[in-house]
Structure 1
């Protein structure tokens, strides 16, 4: 493999001249530039990204820790992150944590050993826990995305989950529903807590009774919706409508209700949350709360770049606002 010294020797110039030609850091005559470029092409020389990163003290690489999940929400956010990294000339190293704190620390060790310029965290297993991510390493600029440690000192990009829960429940009320239940995500997770609090606020404002038997928690997966709905079904008479705190759970509910001979929305109206791409294509298509997933990913990258370039020490919280998307899973009552 050719080195910069080989290129310099072949072109009859110094190594610093080769560097200036390749990096455009100083004026070099056209004749010499042509000779250097010809030598680079003939010797098939490729500059060492590692050597350059050591010299300039940055790698133009970000690391991202994300919880592995069947929920397409994560994939859609990661797509936004990858696209923005590409647009800004950065590489992305993606690590799945598998919901395991030990694996998260192992991945973190690997990323920091590779000298990433910054970190993006979207791993729910560390949420609400007090610990220092950088016990064994020098801290690097970090952005927490939606899910993640609440008390961790970093920039944060968050969905306004309380308002989203409020919008979902308010829509059901406006369609004439008074008997409304809520299938939440795991209540040790902040998004689930906030979506439930939004549900409670909308119900209280409307003067409607909150039946505790109609509030059931589950995991943010299809199976979580299935299990939660089965628990609700066993408790007796059903509400006319449910706010289900994410789309994956909502799909599990629709499938389970169908197996029990119930029709959505004729027998049971449902509003989901996230607006994953599949929500539009299931039957019935799902009325849901839209999270700007691509913008969440892009904003996280932009915030991380701002943190690095401005060298600011203060941390900021950026909140993205959800919106209601009306489809076919809610019946209007007279």
Structure 2
């Protein structure tokens, strides 16, 4: 493999001249530039990205930690991140943590050793103790996305989950429902807590009872919806409507209810959360709360770029506002 010294020798110039021609860091005459580029082509020379990154002290690479999940929500966010990185001329190293704290720590250590220019964190298992790794490295610009830790000092982009839970429940109330339950995500996660609190606020504002028999927790996956619904079903009388705190769980509920002879929305109305692409293709198509997933990914990259280019440290929280998407899974009660 040809080196920059080989190119310089072939073109009859110094290695620094070759570097200036390739990196456009200094004026070089057209004649010499032509000779250098001809040598590059003849020798099939490819500049070393590693050597260049060491010289300029950046790698044009971001690292992203994301929880592996069957939930398409994560994939849709990552797509937004990848697209923005490509548009800005950055590479993305994606590490799946699989919900394992030890694996997350190892992945974080590897990313920092590779000298990534910035980090994107979207893994629910992250906690404060994991970041003792930072004490062994130079600080790296970091953006926490949606599910990450709240106390870690970084910029954060979050969905306004409380408002989303409120919108979902308010829609059911506006459709005439008074007996409304809530199937939450894991209540040790802030997003699940906030969506539940939005449900409670809408119920209390309408003067409706929050019946604890109609509240159960799942794991934000399809089977979590199945388990939570079976728990509520086993307690006796069902509500006429359920706010299910993400679309994957809602799909699990629709499937389980159907197996029990219950029709959606005739016997049970359902509102989900996330508006993943599958939501409009199931039967019935799912009324849900839309999260701007692609924009979440794009904005996270833009914030990292701003932190790097302007060399400033911030600790701001940006909230993306959810909206209601009406489809066919809610029945109007007269």
TM-score (norm 1): 0.98
Shift of 1:77: 0.3
Greater mean alpha carbon deviation, residues 138-147 or residues 286-295: 138-147
What's the counterpart of residue 176 of structure 2?
176
Shift of 1:130: 8.0
What's the counterpart of residue 321 of structure 2?
321
Cα distance change on mapping 1:298 and 1:201 into 2, 3 Å: same
TM alignment of 1:154-165, pairs within 5 A: 154-165=154-165
What's the counterpart of residue 285 of structure 1?
285
8 Å CA contact 2:247, 2:274 repeated in 1:
yes
Cα distance change on mapping 1:237 and 1:127 into 2, 3 Å: farther
Cα distance change on mapping 1:94 and 1:131 into 2, 3 Å: closer
SS at match of 1:70: coil
Tell me how large the CA RMSD over aligned residues is.
1.1
Is 2:310 the partner of 1:310? yes
8 Å CA contact 1:127, 1:189 repeated in 2:
no
Cα distance change on mapping 1:127 and 1:193 into 2, 3 Å: farther
What's the counterpart of residue 186 of structure 2?
186
Distance 2:179 2:133 in 1: 45
Shift of 1:27: 1.8
What's the counterpart of residue 59 of structure 1?
59
8 Å CA contact 2:145, 2:158 repeated in 1:
yes
What's the counterpart of residue 9 of structure 1?
9
**Unmatched runs of 5 consecutive residues or more in structure 1:** none
Distance 1:136 1:99 in 2: 24
SS at match of 2:318: strand
Stretches (4+) displaced over 4 A: 127-131
Shift of 1:288: 0.2
Distance 1:135 1:241 in 2: 50
Shift of 1:137: 2.6
Cα distance change on mapping 1:257 and 1:127 into 2, 3 Å: farther
Shift of 1:128: 7.3
SS at match of 1:59: coil
Shift of 1:138: 2.8
Greater mean alpha carbon deviation, residues 139-148 or residues 251-260: 139-148
Shift of 1:316: 1.0
Distance 1:211 1:8 in 2: 78
The number of residue pairs the alignment matches comes to 334
8 Å CA contact 1:124, 1:148 repeated in 2:
yes
8 Å CA contact 1:128, 1:150 repeated in 2:
no
Distance 2:130 2:306 in 1: 26
